[in-house]
Amino acid sequence: MINFDYKNDTKIIFGKTTEGRVGEECIKYSDKVLLHYGGGSIKKSGLYNRIITSLKEQNITVIELSGVKPNPRLSLVQQGIKLCKEHGIGFILAVGGGSVIDSAKAIALGALYSGDVWDFYLNINSPIESLPVGVVLTIPAAGSETSGGSVITKEDEQLKKVVAVDFLRPKFAILNPELTLTLPDYQTSCGAADMLAHVFERYFTKVKNVDLTDRLCEATMKTIIYQAKKLVNNPKDYEARAELMWAGTVAHNDLFGTGRIADWASHGLEHELSAITDIAHGAGLAIIFPAWMKYVYKENLDRFVQFASRVFNIDINFENLEETALKGIEEVENFYKYLNLPVRLSEINLDESLIDVMAKKYITDSNKGNFKSLNREDCVNIYKLAF
Amino acid sequence: MINFDYKNDTKIIFGKTTEGRVGEECIKYSDKVLLHYGGGSIKKSGLYNRIITSLKEQNITVIELSGVKPNPRLSLVQQGIKLCKEHGIGFILAVGGGSVIDSAKAIALGALYSGDVWDFYLNINSPIESLPVGVVLTIPAAGSETSGGSVITKEDEQLKKVVAVDFLRPKFAILNPELTLTLPDYQTSCGAADMLAHVFERYFTKVKNVDLTDRLCEATMKTIIYQAKKLVNNPKDYEARAELMWAGTVAHNDLFGTGRIADWASHGLEHELSAITDIAHGAGLAIIFPAWMKYVYKENLDRFVQFASRVFNIDINFENLEETALKGIEEVENFYKYLNLPVRLSEINLDESLIDVMAKKYITDSNKGNFKSLNREDCVNIYKLAF
How large is the ipTM?
0.96
Is B196 in the A-facing interface, judged by CB distances under 8 Å?
no
- Tell which of B2, B6, B9, B227 to mutate to test the A interface (max A CBs under 10 Å): B6
β-sheet bridge partners, residue B134: B93, B172
β-sheet bridge partners, residue B20: none
Is A239–B13 a contact, with Cβ atoms under 8 angstroms apart? no
Kindly report which listed range (B69-73, B313-317, B341-345) carries the lowest average pLDDT score: B69-73
pLDDT at A131 exceeding the cut of 90: yes
Same domain, yes or no, for B159 and B219? no
Is A4 a member of any domain?
no
Same domain, yes or no, for B191 and B175? no
Please write down the HEC assignment for all residues of A118-136: HHHHCCCCCCCCCCCEEEE
Confidence class for position B160, pLDDT limits 50, 70, 90: confident
Q: CA of A175 to nearest chain B CA: how many angstroms apart?
A: 10
Mean pLDDT of A346-360: 96
- Tell which of B14, B19, B175, B211 to mutate to test the A interface (max A CBs under 10 Å): B211
Is A242–B8 a contact, with Cβ atoms under 8 angstroms apart? no
Q: CA of B134 to nearest chain A CA: how many angstroms apart?
A: 14
Mean pLDDT of B315-325: 98
Write out residues 240-299 of B within 8 Å (CB-CB) of A: 242-243, 246-247, 250, 255, 258-259
The predicted structure's pLDDT at residue A40: 85
Mean pLDDT of B331-340: 98
Quote the pTM value: 0.97
Same domain, yes or no, for A371 and A356? yes
Same domain, yes or no, for B152 and B106? yes
- Residues A270 and A196: their CA atoms lie apart, in Å, by 14
Look at residues B18, B249, B28, B290 and name the one whose alpha carbon lies nearest to residue B139: B249
Give A14's contacts in chain B (Cβ within 8 Å).
3-6, 258-259
Read off the pLDDT of residues A227-286 as tens digits, 9 standing for 90 and up. Answer: 999 999 999 999 999 999 999 999 999 999 999 999 999 999 999 999 899 899 999 999
Exposed / middle / buried, residue B317 (Cβ in 10 Å: 0-12, 13-18, 19+): middle
Give B140's contacts in chain A (Cβ within 8 Å).
none
A112 and A155 Cβ atoms separated by less than 8 Å: no
Same domain, yes or no, for B224 and B130? no
Is A5 a member of any domain?
no
Is B1 a member of any domain?
no
The predicted structure's pLDDT at residue A278: 86
Range of the domain at A102: 11-179
pLDDT at B356 exceeding the cut of 90: yes
The predicted structure's pLDDT at residue A126: 97
Same domain, yes or no, for B222 and B338? yes
Mean pLDDT of A38-58: 96
The predicted structure's pLDDT at residue B86: 98
Amino acid present at A230: K
- Tell which of B222, B246, B250 to mutate to test the A interface (max A CBs under 10 Å): B246
Look at residues A206, A166, A165, A164 and name the one whose alpha carbon lies nearest to residue A2: A206
Q: Which of B179, B202, B224 is the last residue of a domain?
A: B179
Look at residues A379, A163, A158 and name the one whose alpha carbon lies nearest to residue A266: A379
B371 and B269 Cβ atoms separated by less than 8 Å: no
Q: Quick one: closest CA in B to A311, which residue?
A: B215
Is A209 a member of any domain?
yes
Same domain, yes or no, for B107 and B139? yes
Q: CA of B240 to nearest chain A CA: how many angstroms apart?
A: 8
Confidence class for position B158, pLDDT limits 50, 70, 90: confident
Same domain, yes or no, for B18 and B113? yes
The predicted structure's pLDDT at residue B278: 85
Is B3 a member of any domain?
no
CATH of the domain at A279: 1.20.1090.10
Same domain, yes or no, for B172 and B234? no
